[in-house]
Amino acid sequence: MDIDDDGYPDLPVANWDRSPSWVYWGPDFSARSEINQGNILPMWANGMFLGDLDDDGELEISVGDELNCEVGSHTNSYIFGYAGGRQFSVEDAICYPYSCGAQSLQMADFNNDGYLDIVIANYQDYETENPEINSYIFLGPGPFWAKEPAFALPTFGGHLTSVADLNGDRFLDIVFSSNRDTTRGWETELLIFWGHENGTYGVWDTTRLPVCNNWENQVVDLNRDGWLDIIVVNGKDNDGYYTADRI
């Protein structure tokens, strides 16, 4: 997306290490800026998303922070704002315990009220190594840092989400990649949480599909029949063999 409104798309990059995350500036991408402003340390960033969360015409960038050296996975995830020129500033946060081993903070209007909301996908609590922790939906408008989540969604080592209306009922559905669970190990199930007219989500309406050590999913209509399909990026099975990705 074009962050600085110069007519050229720019390229945000989440760095999964101790480096800050960056935006490379179009059109030639030779220059980059650090996103981690306001003394926010790099914290093994995952799953960036862009959207105008506060409806002021400028994009915000959400960054899921998985862990840091001092507090492990008990760390905040942050939302940075574009501060003009090639600068960013910290705008908002999803705080621990709602950010725990976070993989993404995806933006969408889940309750159809015109304000962008956030779904955070949480991988695991590194202190207990338990991957069966909740992911959460926060309803906008922000600020989100002191908000309670609207919905707690139990996930299996939650990873990158896709958000789309998969069944054509006009309500957004959420596809959680599932990395592992406690009983089935790597051979777990991807979770689709179905949307509803009143904007609610819960375990009482999910579809589960077999996956192995699933890192990511994407939705697209591959066979052009008018229905979105799901591409699943898998890792290893319980015997340690790397498995085929699935559609």
Please report, as ranges, the residues that interact with Ca ion according to CB under 5 A.
Answer: 2, 4, 6, 8, 10, 26, 52, 54, 56, 58, 109, 111, 113, 115, 117, 165, 167, 169, 171, 173, 195
Shortest separation between residue 85's beta carbon and Ca ion, angstroms = 12
Distance (Å, whole) CA 186 – CA 179:
6
Nearest CB to Ca ion, comparing residues 59 and 133: 59
Nearer to Ca ion, 83 or 233 (CB): 83
Residue among 108, 165, 96 at smallest CA distance from 140: 108
Q: Quote the least distance from Cβ 10 to Ca ion, whole Å.
A: 4
Residue nearer to Ca ion on the CB measure, 6 or 221? 6
Rounded to a whole number of angstroms, the minimum distance from the CB of residue 202 to Ca ion is 14
Closer of 10 and 92 to Ca ion (Cβ):
10
Query: With contact defined as beta carbons under 8 Å apart, do 185 and 204 qualify?
Result: no
For the chain, list the strands marked E by DSSP. 11-13, 22-24, 32-34, 45-51, 60-65, 77-82, 88-94, 102-108, 117-122, 134-138, 151-154, 158-164, 173-178, 187-193, 206-212, 216-220, 229-233
Minimum Å gap between C-beta 23 and Ca ion is 9
- Least Cβ distance, residue 210 to Ca ion (angstroms): 22
Convert 38-75 to b/e letters by CB count within 10 Å (16 or more is b). Answer: eebebbbbbbbbbbebbeeebbbbbbbbbbbeeeebbb
Nearer to Ca ion, 4 or 216 (CB): 4
d(CA 50, CA 71): 27
At its nearest, how many Å lie between Ca ion and the CB of residue 112?
Answer: 7
Q: Strand 187-193 and strand 206-212: pairing?
A: antiparallel
81, two tokens: 């704002």
Dihedral sign computed on CA atoms, order 49, 63, 30, 83: positive
Nearer to Ca ion, 67 or 137 (CB): 137
Q: Choose between 10 and 125: whose C-beta lies nearer to Ca ion.
A: 10
Q: How far is the CB of 25 from Ca ion (least distance, A)?
A: 6
